[in-house]
Chain A
């Protein structure tokens, strides 16, 4: 079974090489990318089933044993994230293929490099999820960042270069912080293997450990767009092409959240920064959503809701109970799906109405009822209206918060409820302005026929979001199990070192 573990990284990378060679044959390129991502999804599902039944699976890369060599570890959390990310990237890929077909002849963006870069991005994301040592996690981050730099400046237009440069500089800086932290962790403990660090970090003096923890938190906080470090996100995401924004919004910030979950549970389980994390989580929720209230462009608005809802996940991590972590993981799964869907819907609106600016469009529910339905379902899901998965995720987190007790968790639960209401307000404002008033389009063409593949991919993601609601019970079983394993730490460590930590 351990032979399967490297595949989610290797398959997209091979696919990237192949699509680069096939640059002159777009049809073959598309076929290769879709096949690769479908294969990744299949492997991810197999890994999830296997980890749920038997616990974490470890692969030693190149056959080198653990402390010296690199290990890839698939535990339940990693496998679950792999499944969701593979499903979402596949849907977005299909959407982008649909959009390319629609755009053919109208724009001159270089299509040839999109597929290889997109596959490299996927490989980076999966590598970050599977990484068993800090340095490999850093490499995973760099792979996905390098690919995202290319995607965000795709076409090299003036707007994209200007917003892209902010994105590049901020992310390079956060990578430098991460790399410094990795270097210092190695200097302090003599290893970067996470399973080995779990015991070695415990032995360090408190001050050293706290400073290492804070450095890693700052680095991941930038990537996850946690409040004081989130200002770069709403400014750089909206200008990229719709599928790129969608996959960035869905996945890249969640890789940061995943890294926070992993380090806070496995490496620094004593919860010394729990108070800090809670304050930051509350501020992220409120300030993010207040930003969204003030926006008048759909894409920018969704970027702010993205920042805001990261707060929920950080809240669950800060609680550091099984219920809290479980709610947090469920929320990550839910939010990846929903946020991606919303950006894809915004892309559809742009195709149909010519703009996503709320000042220029209106009455879309009459002009394009299907887009209306797609938007309504996902927006209500995001806002947490029962019975959707957004409601279940928030409920799980609130219950965990109340169960912990104390002033700070209570304040956080209140802030979460307020954020949820404000999200509902934002969603209904978009609905009222863009979908419900007198029809008003920002395009000259009377009717634009929406490409079937774009609509199909969006429908598939909406259905995936609804499926999360239906199978929420089993998913909560998996997340609770994953959370228990994370807090226990021994399943992970024992999987890497069956004969005890060296």
Chain B
């Protein structure tokens, strides 16, 4: 019937803080580690919400001294979900590394287009047919670049 121990509370804080810091990184592997830490921190936090005490087995202790089972049930579900998401993210970062040789999360396409236009001091227009992007290693969709080049050189 006591409150949560301070050690556990501090531990949750440290886990979440580390998780958030890692989430701010660019590399998917670090983001993944961040999500694992954050997920574990949050799962522990749920556990803190319930009463601690004797094992919740009928006959083992008086009902009033038993720990709260509901957070334990919830935390089991949450652990499974975190596990599944971690596995998926791991697969995504592996796939990203396999396809491109790194697992960095890039800026979005539109951002980069705006930056490029700003560098060349051009205004975006709807009929900008032949915007050369073939020499741009950052171009995400190679199909798009190819189509664009075709547009720039005329048909055929």
Contacts and interface: CB of A to CB of B under 8 A. Distances in A.
Chain B binds chain A: yes
Interface of A: 68, 135, 139, 142, 146, 149-150, 153, 156, 158-159, 161-166, 168-169, 172-173, 175-176, 179-180, 182-184, 186-187, 192, 234-235, 294-296, 300, 355, 358-360, 429, 433, 442
B23 to A, nearest CB: 7
Nearest to A141: B81
Contact of B23 (A146, A149, A164, A169): A169
A218 to B, nearest CB: 14
20 contacts: A135-B74, A135-B77, A146-B85, A149-B85, A153-B95, A158-B141, A161-B96, A168-B88, A169-B105, A176-B39, A179-B43, A183-B42, A186-B46, A186-B50, A186-B71, A187-B48, A296-B124, A296-B128, A359-B127, A359-B129
Contacts of A165: 28, 89, 92-93, 96, 105
A169 B77 CA distance: 20
Interface in B4-45: 23, 28, 31, 35, 38-39, 42-43, 45
**Which secondary structure characterizes the binding site on chain A?**
helix
B109 to A, nearest CB: 7
Contacts, number: 116
Pick the most buried of A139, A172, A433: most chain B CB atoms within 10 A of its CB.
Answer: A172
B82 to A, nearest CB: 9
Interface string B60-97: 00000000001100100110010011001100110110
Given A165-B28, A166-B105, A186-B49, A156 B42 contact: no
A294 B124 contact: yes
A153 B45 contact: no
A359 to B, nearest CB: 6
A149 B93 CA distance: 13
A172 B85 contact: yes
Given A165-B93, A234-B110, A139 B147 contact: no
Contacts of B140: 158-159, 162
B31 A235 contact: no
A183 B43 CA distance: 8
Contacts of B49: 183-184, 186-187
A158 B97 CA distance: 10
A451 B39 CA distance: 45
Contacts of B38: 173, 176
B46 A183 contact: yes
Given A146-B85, A166-B105, A161 B23 contact: no
B99 A235 contact: no
Given A162-B140, A165-B96, A235 B108 contact: yes
A169 B46 CA distance: 21
Contacts of A179: 42-43, 46, 78
Contacts of A192: 70, 74
B109 A296 contact: no
Contact of A162 (B42, B48, B105): B105
B114 to A, nearest CB: 9
Interface in B115-133: 124, 126-129
B59 interface: no
A135 B124 CA distance: 47
B116 to A, nearest CB: 14
Nearest to B77: A139
A296 to B, nearest CB: 5
A359 B38 CA distance: 43
A360 B105 contact: no
A156 B126 contact: no
Contacts of B151: 359-360
Given A149-B88, A183-B49, A433 B126 contact: yes
B2 interface: no
Contacts of A173: 23, 35, 38
B106 interface: yes
Given A158-B99, A183-B45, 4 more contacts: A149-B85, A164-B92, A176-B35, A187-B50
B89 A235 contact: no
Nearest to B31: A169
Given A139-B77, A186-B49, A162 B128 contact: no
Contacts of A146: 81, 84-85, 88
A173 B41 CA distance: 13
B128 to A, nearest CB: 6
Most chain B beta-carbon neighbours within 10 Å: one of A158, A429, A433: A158
Contacts of B126: 296, 358-359, 429, 433
A501 to B, nearest CB: 17
A158 B28 contact: no
Contacts of A163: 108
Contacts of A183: 42, 45-46, 48-49, 71, 74
Top 10 closest pairs, chain A to chain B, by CB: A187-B49, A183-B46, A235-B108, A186-B49, A158-B99, A142-B81, A183-B45, A159-B141, A161-B96, A180-B42
